Amino acid sequence: MHVQEWLDSVPAAAVYAVVALVIGFESLGIPLPGEIILVSAALMSSQHTGVNPVVLGACATAGAVIGDSIGYAIGRKGGRPLLAWLGRKFPRHFSAGHVATAERSFEKWGMWAVFFGRFVALLRIFAGPLAGVLHMPYWKFLIANVLGGICWAGGTTAVIYYVGIVAEDWLKRFSYVGLGVAVLIGLGSMLILKRKAKKAQPERLEAEAEPVNAGE
C-alpha cells in the first residue's frame, strides 16, 4: 500500500503521531523515510482531509528536534563504538565512507552542518548521534537543531500544503523534463566536441607538417 493511501485510512491524530514518531526515530539515527511521510501527510492536509497543516508542521518539528536531541545524548554516551555498531547493523547508511564524509562536514561547518544536515537525507540521520560523538557543545547543537527542525519541517509542510496535489504532478513531470534536458545537453556537448575535433584536426596536421617543410 502506498504511504499516502495508508495515511488516508487512519484518523488525523494518528497521522500527527506517525509523522512525529517516524521523523523522530529518523533523527535519532534510524534510517526511516521521514521526508516521504511528511510530504505525504502535507499533501493530505491540502485535500481537506481533516489534517491541520499547522498542527502537522508543529508535530514534525517536535519529532525532529526531540529525535535529534536523543540521538545527540546517545552519541555522546556511546562514542565511536556506537558508530561501529550502527555500521554493522545498517551498513548501507553507516558505512565507514559515509561516517567519514559526515564527520568531515561536521569538522568543517560545525553548527551549520547540524542546521543544513536537516535538509540532506544522509546527514539528517547522522546529525544527532555524530554531534554527540564529536562532543559538540550542547547549546550550539540545540540552537542549530531547533532552527533546522523549524525550517525543514515547517517549511516543507507549508510549501507542499500551498502547492497542493499539483506539486506531486509537477515533480513527476519534472523527472521527464530533467531527463529530456540532460539528453539535449549530452547531445549538444557531443556535437560541440565533434566540431572542435574537426577544427583541431587540420591544425594538428599543419603543425606536424611544418617541421618537415622546415627541414627541406
CA distance 212 to 39: 70
Q: What is the mean pLDDT of residues 55-79?
A: 89
Q: Which three cell numbers stand for residue 139?
A: 547549546
185 or 147, greater pLDDT: 147
pLDDT at 205: 47
Tens-digit pLDDT profile for residues 120-177: 777 788 788 888 888 888 888 899 999 999 999 998 888 888 876 555 555 555 544 5
pLDDT of residue 80: 73
Q: Which residue has the higher pLDDT, 193 or 96?
A: 96
Count CB atoms within 10 A of the CB of residue 107: 10
